Amino acid sequence: MLTTLLQNVINALQWGSFYSMIALGYCLVYGVLRLINFAHGDIFMVAAYIGFVFVGFLLKFMPGSGMYGWLVLAITLPVTMILTSMLGVFIERVAYRPLREKGAHRLYVVITALMVGLVLENGNLAIFGASSRKFPEIIDKVVFTFAGVRITNLKVLVIVTAIVIFIFLQTVVNRSKIGMAMRAISYDKFGIPLMGIPVNRVVVFTFIVGSSLAAIAGVLFGMSYPVLDPYMGMIIGWKAFIAAVVGGIGDIKGAFLGGFMLGFIEILIVSFFSSNLKDLIAFTILLIILVIKPTGFFGVAKSTKI
Amino acid sequence: MLEVKDLKVRYGNIEALHGISFTVNKGEIVTLIGSNGAGKTTTLLSLSRLPKPEAPTVVSGDIIYNGESLLKTPPHEIVSKKKIALVPEGRHIFGNLTVNENLEIATYALEKGVDVKAGYDQVYSLFPRLYERRKQRSESLSGGEQQMLAVGRALMCGADFIMLDEPSMGLAPVLVQDMFKAMKVMNESGMTILLIEQNARIALQFAHRGYVINTGEIVATGTGAELMEDPEVKKAYLGG
């Protein structure tokens, strides 16, 4: 009984890690631009594909096992982060910034974000076709067993990565210059150029960080659940977004914990009910939380954005 | 130092300034007075070069600063390169940051090697209240303290030209006096100031020169003392 419970906790932590990493990307962009970047889930999907293509390329030159497997991962991660960041910055430049500079209402920007997501999904469909792709296995699976609870090295990697990302983001936002500018812009965008700081520099930095997080999540997700398809980012992106809102969007801690909360709720439901009921019950619970506390679980009434 | 030449600006299709001209010389305090909606804030926002929708679009005319046009200068360079700071209406302090962080963020665009410590010393000696509250979230400050912080930030930017938009707004009379005295101290240490006020009496009292603006046009100009004695100005802005 206890073993089963602990096993579920491990699984919940792993899923929560994925939700959190994606939710943090939503949270950063929302905090800085007040934009719900609905394309973020699809950026995650593209990142998984970039990782897939790049790993395939590397495996032509080196074996995907043992130390080499880790080397492949160590090269793939930064490359995917850079390419995905370029995509994120490109999207901001061609789709969001022109609207911002014309003073468009937020509604139009959100709709644009939805359309960007659809373009990414269908662009992917055009390139890779409808059949799903299999992410190659690069890390030799190692299973650790503690008191009957099994945990793979990959799960450990996922969970540790999510926590490291969270600590890193907290440090950047609270201790660095650009982080302070991000906090400031979330409170008052008008005041930023008055301090001599170019607004667009803060925005581009935010998209680089957010897209890099999606890239890490995409590669790790591909390694954990190796079947890739063009729509994989949609549902997980929505879920992560909802998790961020329920946690308290605009607050890094809120988005991070919201992701884990969703992970735990889902896994607990699956362990007691049929998995068909997972999303129904999970989102009913989240709905109730939001109705009771519209600012989100960890959110504050206003002001403390990112 | 600053020369505004026949400046026409519009918001959308509505012309807000119909060709105004004025100058501010180095070391002066110059005030623009006028009633609500006369175009005072519009003038400052035009000078700040902030983008739409916050600021209007320049239709014609020019803004010359130290011999160069500002029309093509992006807003952050108005501060970081031209050293012109705006203390906007509504203050726009960053309420989620502490007082000290608000001052710190104003130093980010400074060149390397600028003595930041001297800036803090100057601000905190000018406004000792801010020093007492330096670790507080700035949204917890009173209106007067927030105004001090907004002025302090402009000083931290390394500006030698400060534009103040209604510093007296919403402040108790004693605080208004304090604010204007602080402005005088800044001016005596070399700061050039362009001041916008609805409170014409105090503005003219402190300013070297003034312009009266009405529905997007300059209608009178003179030294502070002259405008105080002008019968039209008396009637319209000083309550008879």
Q: In chain B, which residue's Cα lies nearest the Cα of A175? A: B101
pLDDT mean values, one per 10 residues, chain A (306 residues): 87 95 94 91 97 94 84 95 98 94 88 95 92 90 88 95 96 94 93 95 96 97 94 92 87 92 90 84 86 78 48
Contact A195 B108 (CB under 8 A): yes
* pLDDT surpassing 90 at residue B25: yes
Can you name the CATH fold of B2-237? Rossmann fold (3.40.50)
Q: Check residues A104 and B134 and name the one with the higher pLDDT.
A: B134
Confidence (pLDDT) at B148: 94
Confidence (pLDDT) at B240: 61
Confidence (pLDDT) at A304: 45
**Is A274 in the B-facing interface, judged by CB distances under 8 Å?**
no
Confidence (pLDDT) at B35: 87
ipTM above 0.90, yes or no: yes
Contact A198 B86 (CB under 8 A): no
- Cβ neighbours of B48 in A, within 8 Å: 193-194
User: Rounded to a whole number, what is the distance in Å from the CA of A102 to chain B's nearest CA?
Assistant: 7
Predicted confidence band at B198 (pLDDT cuts at 50, 70, 90)? confident
* pLDDT surpassing 90 at residue B97: yes
Confidence (pLDDT) at A303: 46
Q: Decide if B123 contacts B103 (C-beta within 8 A).
A: yes
Over residues B198-213, the mean pLDDT reads 93
pTM (predicted TM-score): 0.91
Q: Which of B45, B76, B104 is the best substitution to test chain A (most A C-beta atoms within 10 A)?
A: B76
User: What average pLDDT is seen over chain B?
Assistant: 93
Q: Check residues B22 and A295 and name the one with the higher pLDDT.
A: B22
Q: Check residues B157 and B12 and name the one with the higher pLDDT.
A: B157
Tell me the DSSP string of chain B: -EEEEEEEEEETTEEEEEEEEEEE-TT-EEEEE--TTSSHHHHHHHHHTPPTTTSPEEEEEEEEETTEE-TT--HHHHHHTT-EEEE-TT----TTSBHHHHHHHTTTTSPTT--HHHHHHHHHHH-HHHHHTTTSBGGGS-HHHHHHHHHHHHHHTT-SEEEEE-TTTT--HHHHHHHHHHHHHHHHTT-EEEEEES-HHHHHHH-SEEEEEETTEEEEEEEHHHHHH-HHHHHHHS--
CB < 8 Å from B in window 128-187 of A: 177, 180-181, 183-184, 186-187
Confidence (pLDDT) at A271: 84
Confidence (pLDDT) at A165: 97
In chain A, where the domains are located: 21-229
